[in-house]
Structure 1
Amino acid sequence: MIRVCHVITLLELGGAQQNTIYTCSKLDSSRFDVTLIAGKGGYLDGDARRLLGGRVTFVPQLVREVRPARDLRAFLALTRLFRSRHPDIVHTHSSKAGILGRAAAWAAGVPAVVHSIHGFPFNDYQSWPVRRGYLLAEKLAAKWTDRFIAVSRRNAEQGVTLGIFDADSVRLIRSGFDIEAFAKAPRLAEKRREMGVPAGVPLVGTVACLKPQKAPLDFVDVCARVAHSKRDAHFIMVGDGELRAAVESRVRDAKLTDRFHLLGWREDVADILSQLSIFVLTSRWEGLPRAVLQARAASLPVVATAVDGTVEVIEDGINGYLCPAGDIPAMAARVTELLSDPARTRAMGGRAREGLHEFDQDGMVREQERLYDELAQRKC
């Protein structure tokens, strides 16, 4: 039996978090003894308890913000957990848990350490000292890491180029999801009524955490431009986060209150996507945007920013359009073009489903099992 501890900062509603919970719940229980360790207070805490029961442990000291005293307590708590549970493999996710978890695994003498890159903590929008600090932290933590998992080729190549790891130590394992759930979601009229969207009108939407990475204010600005030429169009945003108040203010300023529907976090994303005409993602940087893949499974054309892993899943002009990050006029123009050309929209949507097999969630789990087996044979 191989003992594996997964560590993630916070179980918010996002692809990395959902995939981590799914992996922990679906690893072969005859071969793997799995524990999930996370900070407390995430939207998905209840899901983790329901699916994993006593195999989930919450560490209140583990938080996203940089807080040196609290981070030290989190490191000590993780070290104690690893020393008491004697995992063969520690598998970390996200930047804070990735740094503290790997340091604690090293301190506790864990035989093998894996880190999943769902997007790096540094980006071009940070000041040079901040970006440099994150890069140095990643290089330090890499010394305690046996294998890396990248969800996008771009992140794998970036890590090699920056000297964080070499090409032999990183493996591409795609972020998986339930493809059929999105491909077969029924288009129910009552779903529009529930959301307050009139029947028959064009509906443009996004699914994203309302944080700077996802640039939700850019989405509002795109919608405002589209609304001027498409008077019957409505817009929805599924998600919540630190920028919610700013989004609400921008919607009011754009006089879109009656046509913009901010839904918060939802469990019925597949049903909501089935109502859309076009999916939009305005991210400034990404790992691999699972929401885009879900939109493709729902046969939606996608208008997205040409960043990181997004360019690996959208072929410009084939199953969607790619625009420079922050280019509001370009994104609005593409959305307007699609709304004005239903035949093109249907054709792109039809092509969107093609080639999704590599993002199957069970395939994702089996790939991780193979990696764990290799590490256990070599290190444990």
Structure 2
Amino acid sequence: MLIHVMNGPRLRGAETFAVQLAEELARCGVRQRIVFLKGLSSPRPAIDGCEIAPRSATLSRLRAFSWLRAQLRAEGPSVVLCHGQGPLKEVLPALAFRGGRRPALALKQIGMILPWLRTHAAVRKALNRWLLARTDMCICLGPKQAEELNAAFGVPAERIAIIPNGRRSPSHPGPAAPRDASEILVVGSLSPEKNPALVLDLLEALRRDRPDLHLTFVGDGPLRPALEREVEARFPQGAVQFAGQVADVWPFYRRAGIHLLCSETEGVPGVVIEATLAGLPTVAWEVGDVATVLEDGVNGRLTPFSDRAALLRALAQVAGDPASWQRLREGALEISPRFDLGRIAREYVRVLDLLPAPPATGSVP
């Protein structure tokens, strides 16, 4: 039994990947359960042979703890796969109070850890070392994450596996829509780490020479009200659109001219994979393990992290050179098979099958 534990209530990037991974693992015959720690406001997934267990928001802290402990019980050998640090912090205490043999514990590391340790860094680093020391396998998305886990947190190399993200392209993409070469697309949470304020600065600079360029944000988040006020003050009507959280992002990828990513921190962003599958060139900073899915000059442009001038030049070059844009589109479509989710799921099966049998004790070692 494989037990996925992830956040909620909405199916965002990490949760969307986890659900799609569970769908592919079901096709491989893996018995599964999905546990959502914050309920579920998105439509509930329907996966053959997979129980979906969202936690009620009305539970008290003690009842929520007991509920999670019950969800982690499974007949026979099992593996608990935490999709991110948040779930790991809740799962470890729950496993500590289980009777009998505890399941093997795996972590899918979503992004880099050190950039988040801004306050009380020493204490938080020590807490993460403690958590990771009690994890049987850390699955990270690229070599930089693996290096951080080993060098900064002491995770032995034999307990680290690198498996990149994957995505499933739509089975029925629909009729081909004409590309809007003047549209810049940003997909993701409207939160500080995604740097949406910088996106507006870049658009304003680009529109001095290309007033036809316009922007679409797909996603929602805490910064949206402030961004909407800023857009109203700085841009003419129609220059910036807020699509909000959408059920199907593929029409946006198929319509836009450029996909932009300028996050302060990233792992291996699924949005770049999705853009690549749609044949949409991406312009991004080299942060985290973005370079594992974005090859400069192949499926987009990769510029030095935090170099705003370089990012602006790359955007202007791709937007202003149709021949270059076409080469990047063809390059994206050519490399897209490497992100096939079925292949990624088979790699998860291989890695999780290698996990050692956990100790015959109810305590966390």
Shorter-chain-normalised TM-score: which range?
Answer: 0.7 to 0.9
Identity of aligned residues (%): 25
Q: Check if 1:262 corresponds to 2:218.
A: no
Question: 1:285-308, CA deviations, whole angstroms, 9 ceiling, x for partnerless residues?
Answer: 111111111112222221101101
Matches of 1:249 and 1:52, distance apart in 2: 45
Quick one: which of 93, 107, 114 aligns to 1:115?
107
Report the CA distance shift for 1:329/1:47 in structure 2 as closer, same or farther (over 3 A): farther
Question: 2:279, 2:329 within 8 Å by CA — same for their partners in 1?
Answer: yes
Quick one: which of 277, 302, 316 aligns to 2:296?
316
Hey, what does 1:248 align to over in structure 2? 228
SS of structure 2 residue aligned to 1:55? strand
Question: 1:217, 1:246 within 8 Å by CA — same for their partners in 2?
Answer: no
Matches of 1:272 and 1:290, distance apart in 2: 15
Report the CA distance shift for 1:216/1:163 in structure 2 as closer, same or farther (over 3 A): same
Question: 1:138, 1:164 within 8 Å by CA — same for their partners in 2?
Answer: no
Matches of 2:180 and 2:343, distance apart in 1: 38
Task: Map 1:229-378 onto structure 2 (within 5 A).
Answer: 229-375=209-355
Structure 1 residue 341 displacement after superposition: 1.1
SS of structure 1 residue aligned to 2:33? strand
Q: Check if 1:57 corresponds to 2:53.
A: yes
Report the CA distance shift for 1:51/1:88 in structure 2 as closer, same or farther (over 3 A): closer
Report the CA distance shift for 1:77/1:344 in structure 2 as closer, same or farther (over 3 A): same
Structure 1 residue 340 displacement after superposition: 1.5
Alignment RMSD (CA, Å)? 2.9
* Counterpart residue type for residue 118 of structure 2: S
Q: Which runs of 5+ in 2 are unaligned?
A: 361-365
Quick one: which of 83, 90, 107 aligns to 1:93?
83
Report the CA distance shift for 1:349/1:84 in structure 2 as closer, same or farther (over 3 A): closer
Question: 2:112, 2:148 within 8 Å by CA — same for their partners in 1?
Answer: no
Structure 1 residue 113 displacement after superposition: 0.8
Report the CA distance shift for 1:228/1:13 in structure 2 as closer, same or farther (over 3 A): farther
Bigger relative contact order, structure 1 or 2, given CA contacts below 8 A and separation 6+? 2
Structure 1 residue 373 displacement after superposition: 2.4
Q: Which runs of 5+ in 1 are unaligned?
A: 64-68, 190-198
> Which deviates further from its counterpart, 4-13 or 270-279?
4-13
> Which deviates further from its counterpart, 22-31 or 5-14?
22-31
Matches of 2:83 and 2:236, distance apart in 1: 38
Hey, what does 1:12 align to over in structure 2? 10
Question: 1:117, 1:149 within 8 Å by CA — same for their partners in 2?
Answer: yes
> Which deviates further from its counterpart, 296-305 or 78-87?
78-87
Structure 1 residue 78 displacement after superposition: 1.9
More helix, by proportion = 1
Structure 1 residue 310 displacement after superposition: 0.8
Quick one: which of 118, 142, 166 aligns to 1:127?
118
Question: 2:35, 2:71 within 8 Å by CA — same for their partners in 1?
Answer: no
Structure 1 residue 20 displacement after superposition: 1.2
Structure 1 residue 208 displacement after superposition: 0.8
Structure 1 residue 90 displacement after superposition: 1.0
Hey, what does 1:221 align to over in structure 2? 201
Question: 1:191-220, CA deviations, whole angstroms, 9 ceiling, x for partnerless residues?
Answer: xxxxxxxx9561111111111221122212
Structure 1 residue 322 displacement after superposition: 2.1
* Counterpart residue type for residue 163 of structure 2: I
Matches of 2:278 and 2:297, distance apart in 1: 18
Matches of 1:62 and 1:340, distance apart in 2: 53
TM-score (norm 2): 0.87
SS of structure 2 residue aligned to 1:285? coil
Matches of 1:52 and 1:358, distance apart in 2: 26
Structure 1 residue 97 displacement after superposition: 0.6
Question: 1:174, 1:358 within 8 Å by CA — same for their partners in 2?
Answer: no
SS of structure 2 residue aligned to 1:47? coil
TM-score (norm 1): 0.84
SS of structure 1 residue aligned to 2:355? helix
